[in-house]
Chain A
Amino acid sequence: MIRLRQKSIFRRTLDRYWGVITSLLVINLFFTLTSEYYFTAYNIINILDHSAISLILSIGMVFVLASGGIDLSVGSTLAFTGIIAALLFAADLPILIAILIAILAGMLIGLINGVVITHYKLQPFIVTLAMLSIVRGLALVFSGGNPIIGMPQGFLAFFAGDTLFGNGIFIALGLTALAALVLEKTKFGTYVKSLGGGEEAAFLVGVNTSKIKICVYIISGFCAVIASFLFMASMDAAEPIAGLTTEWMEAIAAPIIGGNSLDGGKAYVVGAILGVLVLSCIKSGLNMMGVGQHYQQIAIGSVIVAAVILDSIRRKL
């Protein structure tokens, strides 16, 4: 009996991502041709640096999307936990303790999201939308509406320290690798995907679906906090209005561009990376061409729609 051999990882990756990879190449080619400064070492490092925050948020979102949910509150969580950490820094708490408390705060927000969604069987959209508003409000209250400027040296050294790239991109890639490992190689990852693909089926084979769902939102909250640290380090400040629109939009859009689906069941971490790169490259390229911020928003929105349409066409093929 001839056994069927598994396709190589390389083939599988190419099968899955040819669309995004092609778009990424086309985008890069276009900007390289239009601007002499685009394809330079300096700018590439710059793009990667800027991708770190989006990437971390996207990774959290990949978990949530895979489970068939959505988390709209990550932008607010980013702002709020940043304010918490900054206040604790200002109160001269040891950096490590302050960081830990901020992380716990983010995970608590995720926990509340998850518990409310599973216990009352509510739509993740509306629950996390409400949480978005609550947490943003808290961030504004705690900070009095003003940014808190000046981060401690140790904090800056770790999260913004310069080797070749900023440390941010390494932290982001580390988290991404960890996420890929969890999603592809553990029971937990399998169950997350099974929730989105068929919650009923998973429940019937004895998966504790509520627990898995709650964990997913906690992971998303955790990622929002780490993204917040990178944001604070790069600005040397905590902003109550950080992550107001683009960050969370990109956090959801990037995984979707990379082939993840709002219907759940898929967890494409590599897709999320590619999606983040698509958005960062477009932003950077438009900047080089001197296109203003306002027009960039229009461009990014259009890219998201185009990506989703392409994906739906691809799925029908």
Chain B
Amino acid sequence: MNTLIEMKSLKKTFGGIKAIQNVDLELYAGEVHGLLGENGAGKSTLMRILCGLEIPDKGIIKIEEKPVEIFKPTDAQNLGIGMIPQELILIDGMTVTENIFLGHEIESNKLGFLNQREMREKAMDLLEGLGSGDIDPDTYVGLLPKAEQQIVAIARRIIQGGKVFIMDEPTSALTENETEKLFTVIRKLCSEGKAVVFISHRLEEVLDICDRFTVLRDGKRIVSVENTDQIKKGHLISFMIGNEIEEEFPHTATTPGEKKLEAQNLSFTTSQGVEVKNVNFDVCAGEVVGITGLVGVGKTELAQSVMGLRKLKDGQILINGKKKNINSPVSAVKSGIGYVTEDRRGEGLVLGLKSLYNMTLSSLKKITRFYVIRGYHEKKLGLDYSSKLNMKNEYIDLEVKKLSGGNQQKAVVIRQMMGDSEIIIFDEPTKGIDVGAKAEIARLISSLSKEGKSILIFSSEPREILGVSDRIYVLNNKGFKGPFKRGDLDYKKLMAIEFGEKNAGGAQYE
């Protein structure tokens, strides 16, 4: 097979963190190449470089043996490389034909009028060629199901002269039939000599569709192999996670008190339109409960459902044994639930305000008299808490946007502590925080639980979940599993469950 793309010793660092280091990757014409790795292994960074969305610090990219320079998305596009992104970049309010030809319209004559008939015909030919002749070229893309939108996006890439199709989790929103349809399209593309990069956490699918695959771990290439019958899911998992396991997140277990929050039979729809049913979990006072799963399975959506930010389809939530109707953050707060969002900068903090004001935002009642905030009391309260969390005193007078990620997270946590929430939900608490601060956040969570608070952590970082939680629940693409007690799970077992491995905990890996 001839090599279509060769990437050599690529390197990219983000603020001191090595996202990928000296990674090589070859793509052959006519192959489906699986790209595997845990969250944060460097898959996305590598592909973003190939698409011109990131510029590598070092390294060479060759296309058909000629070195090329890719600095922006249009460079990549002109070379025939493009991502069929997870969030599709189609325009909902435009028709299928318009979307397919966007940027590559056919004009009929010198006057510059569009040849709409020809575009429509070509669009239909193209869709038919992809085995999707039933997609109406005149319908608005926003009205199509996700799978068909994906096919429209692929058709657009073909029109743009695409040679390499990068698909990041293309099947996460698809039903089995739709997935089969997409695979037909992928095989069709490959039979025409195009290359497809297939990024997925669904290992069965990877084994099903890919000709070869490459596994990344901690920004390094672990292996590139051909897909043969000898290769099983277990092999892939052990490639991905390696063997080292470190205790990064210290936690001393506490004796839990009575049940604080109990979720019974919840069902909800993820943002990718998948329905998750039969979710049952509970948290006791003084306990840390972790809920984990791969990116995109719906953890954040579950957290939002508990907070009343997202409508529950079914099920109920009991607080202190009593059924509560939580339909907005206001009622959640009234029921004693505090929420530390995943998107601290966007949703959690008022960036332009001093961190002190951010901390006291939801507990102003404590420091006001006749509707007037008493500055002295406010500062004293802020200092009390910031010293508790090892946050430097001078930070509370700084605008919160000037603080580091770790200190911003502390400010948010302090707000929840001041607010007297009995139950605190953390959504991806250490996302985008450096290693030192991560350990500190973990200690913080531990100390909150020692104060008798109930902590619920939603995180896709297995090490963090294993480190801080007393009990663990796992959401995978087959459903909601658990609880597993602290100590019953180790890294390998947890990953196996997350990937939906049937003999979870078995010793079939080398």
Contact = CB atoms under 8 A, between A and B. Distances in A.
B187 interface: no
Given A4-B137, A194-B102, A205-B160, A200 B116 contact: no
A186 B112 contact: yes
B181 interface: no
B103 interface: yes
Interface in A78-98: none
A202 to B, nearest CB: 7
A185 B113 contact: yes
B136 to A, nearest CB: 5
A197 interface: yes
A3 B116 CA distance: 16
B275 interface: no
Contacts of B397: none
B255 to A, nearest CB: 51
Interface string A188-207: 00100110111011111111
Contacts of A119: none
B105 A206 contact: no
Contacts, number: 71
B94 A194 contact: yes
Interface in B109-141: 112-114, 116, 120, 124, 128, 133, 136-138
A204 to B, nearest CB: 5
Contacts of B120: 6
A194 B91 contact: yes
A205 B103 contact: yes
Contact of A186 (B73, B93, B104, B113): B113
B138 A197 contact: no
Contacts of B112: 186-187
Interface in A140-186: 181, 185-186
A185 B116 contact: yes
Nearest to A196: B93
Given A6-B120, A197-B92, A206-B74, A190 B105 contact: yes
B435 interface: no
Given A186-B112, A186-B114, A190-B98, A198 B91 contact: yes
B94 A206 contact: no
A313 interface: no
Contacts of A3: 124
B77 interface: yes
Given A1-B133, A194-B94, A185 B114 contact: yes
Nearest to B94: A197
Nearest to B85: A204
Nearest to B103: A205
Interface in B154-193: 156, 160
A205 B102 contact: yes
Contact of B89 (A181, A196, A198, A207): A198
B93 A207 contact: no
A198 B90 contact: yes
Interface in B273-322: none
Interface in B440-484: none
B114 A200 contact: no
B204 interface: no
B94 A265 contact: yes
B128 A1 contact: yes
B124 A206 contact: no
Contacts of B137: 4
Nearest to B138: A6
Given A4-B138, A190-B102, A201-B102, A206 B91 contact: no
